[in-house]
Amino acid sequence: MSLTETSAFEIAAEVRAGRLRAVDVLDAHLANVAARESEIHAFNTVTADEARRSAEAVDAAVAAGRDPGPLAGVPIALKDNMCTRGVPTTCSSKILDGWKPPYDATVVELVANAGAVVVGKTNLDEFAMGSSTENSAFGPTFNPHDVTRVAGGSSGGSAAAVAARFASISLGSDTGGSIRQPAALCGVVGVKPTYGTVSRRGLVAFASSLDQIGPFSHDVRDSALLLEVISGHDPLDSTSIPQPSLQLLSELDRGVKGLRIGRITDLPGGSEPEVDERLSEAFDALAAAGATIVDVELPSMKFGLTAYYLVAPAEASSNLARYDGVRYGMRVEASDTNAMYMATRAAGFGDEVKRRIMLGTYALSAGYYDAYYGKALKVRRLISDDFARAYEKADVLVTPTSPIVAFPVGSKVDDPLSMYLCDVFTIPTNLAGHPAMSVPFGTGAHGLPVGVQVLAPTLGEAVMFRVAAELERGAR
């Protein structure tokens, strides 16, 4: 097995024991970057020199008898909306092109302190708004399984970096499915934790009540390892839950015997036949492993998409008001201040970002707030209530992650509504604040990966990972 095919868990164990050098692991992954990055475009910035210094420091620590940490020598990629001190953080937007933050995001500090080696910043839909990574100001990311197709989004670069073995693990952010959907399309594991379990300090905001950072990996164990490292209370994040880091690795071998797995009987339609077939096989595998399949209803789930596209743009219109050409980022000179604001934003933001800012501003405007934003918040409450009733009957729920496999590049860019429907199964979890994860489970049309999604109640990561590990075993 090559170094790029070795799991993060095994890399860290071998490096910590002194049987493997972090520099050699890095070189193997950078060789893959050199070979395929030009056709995939997973990265906005490759930090090879910084990565080599980090790897050498890990090897020096081991040689001196010190433990570099649970991610010792593991190459990791970071979505380019997470602040990295002195390294460009662009959110794939022209308006932040070249901006270098003066500090590291909390998750960046945590992975560095755990011994991980950052290989670069990954491409994304501009300000995380999109489902295909085609909205990036720096060009799309392509699917490593078929470069004529999208990698998903908005964290398409992070998913592709792992799928192409440019990095062993990566971090993305998930506002409406932006970790889970690209994970499904690229055939990797992707996790959205409970809102508040992972610090958002240093994550450039899209929709603050929905955004959450989470891991990508090749297998469930590596995601459990990374989530253990990045979770836990952060006093610098006012939305951080005051609890210790999650303990997940000990749950993976417990199996699912006795667990109740919820099958949603009123799930929105429109999935490809092969996706439905993989979902049915997933339920069969869980039942064969000792779980009980129970039918549940989520009647408000079909309204999730509508509510999300009022709540998220409303928050985005507020969060993105800070990009004005004054404080940081690009500036387009004009005759007066107001003209400069308009010219900077017109040149700096892409079409999808402008579309969502205008939609959100309209929803919050006088005379329309109660009719649109207020009603969306009521629907959000109904969705949470429906989930609560479902979790009285089931320990977890299982759905498709995406209704379709990776679609051809360019096929949906002129049809935003069709693009939005890609997130129909992932968005409700964000509205409720619950954890969910995507696990590769076979292939669908054109031999492309299909992901099955495991959903759990608030702070239900332990049981969610138990089920995900069983699905992984059932998919082999």
On the CB side of 22, CA atoms within 13 Å amount to 33
Helix (H) or strand (E) segment spanning residue 294: strand 292-296
| Strands lying side by side in the sheet with 189-192 | 43-46, 117-122, 75-79, 169-174, 212-217, 189-192, 436-443, 449-455, 396-400, 260-264, 292-296
Q: What confidence tier does 124 reach under pLDDT thresholds 50, 70, 90? A: very high
Whether the pLDDT of residue 110 is over 70: the answer is yes
User: Which amino acid is residue 125, in one-letter code?
Assistant: D
Question: Alpha-carbon distance 467 to 65, whole Å?
Answer: 38
Of 158, 207, 206, 200, nearest to 183 by C-alpha is 158
Q: What share of the chain is helix, strand, coil (3-state, %, to 5)?
A: 45, 15, 40
Q: What confidence tier does 97 reach under pLDDT thresholds 50, 70, 90? A: confident
Is 178 among the catalytic positions?
yes
* Spatial contact of 311 and 376, defined as CB atoms under 8 Å apart: yes
* Spatial contact of 58 and 22, defined as CB atoms under 8 Å apart: yes
On the CB side of 464, CA atoms within 13 Å amount to 31
Of 92, 157, 154, nearest to 120 by C-alpha is 157
User: Which amino acid is residue 340, in one-letter code?
Assistant: M
Of 40, 46, 263, nearest to 164 by C-alpha is 40
- The sign one gets for the Cα dihedral 34, 444, 153, 352 is positive
Q: Quick one: average pLDDT of 311-331?
A: 92
pTM of structure:
0.97
**Could you name the CATH architecture of 260-300+378-475?**
Alpha-Beta Complex (3.90)
Exactly one of 173, 178, 231, 300 is catalytic; which is it? 178
Whether the pLDDT of residue 259 is over 90: the answer is yes
For residue range 225-251, what is the model confidence (pLDDT) as tens digits? 999 999 999 999 999 999 999 999 999
Q: How would you class 277 by CB atoms within 10 Å of its CB: exposed for 0-12, middle for 13-18, buried for 19 or more?
A: middle
* Spatial contact of 210 and 431, defined as CB atoms under 8 Å apart: yes
Q: What confidence tier does 382 reach under pLDDT thresholds 50, 70, 90? A: very high
Question: How far is the first Cα of the chain from the last one, in angstroms, to the nearest whole number?
Answer: 18
Question: Alpha-carbon distance 184 to 194, whole Å?
Answer: 19
Question: Alpha-carbon distance 310 to 365, whole Å?
Answer: 12
Going by the DSSP 8-state scheme, the letter that residue 168 receives in this structure is: S
Exactly one of 54, 131, 136, 154 is catalytic; which is it? 154
From residue 85, alpha-carbon distances to 82, 102, 105 in Å are 10, 5, 8
Exactly one of 54, 79, 93, 300 is catalytic; which is it? 79
* Spatial contact of 154 and 130, defined as CB atoms under 8 Å apart: yes
Task: Please give the pLDDT value at position 366.
Answer: 87
Of 186, 215, 112, 165, nearest to 6 by C-alpha is 165
Question: Alpha-carbon distance 396 to 144, whole Å?
Answer: 31
Domain residue ranges of the chain, discontinuous segments joined by +: 3-251, 260-300+378-475, 306-370
Q: What confidence tier does 137 reach under pLDDT thresholds 50, 70, 90? A: very high
For residue range 61-95, what is the model confidence (pLDDT) as tens digits? 999 999 999 999 999 999 999 999 999 999 999 99
For residue range 165-221, what is the model confidence (pLDDT) as tens digits? 999 999 999 999 999 999 999 999 999 999 999 999 999 999 999 999 999 999 999
Structure tokens at 291: 């779980």
Question: Alpha-carbon distance 384 to 377, whole Å?
Answer: 11
Q: What confidence tier does 476 reach under pLDDT thresholds 50, 70, 90? A: low
Phi and psi of 289, rounded to 5°?
Answer: -85, 0
Whether the pLDDT of residue 161 is over 90: the answer is yes
**Lookup result for tokens 């549940």:** 296
| Topology of domain 3-251, CATH | Amidase signature (AS) enzymes (3.90.1300)
**Lookup result for tokens 């970057």:** 33
Is 79 among the catalytic positions?
yes
Question: Alpha-carbon distance 179 to 164, whole Å?
Answer: 16
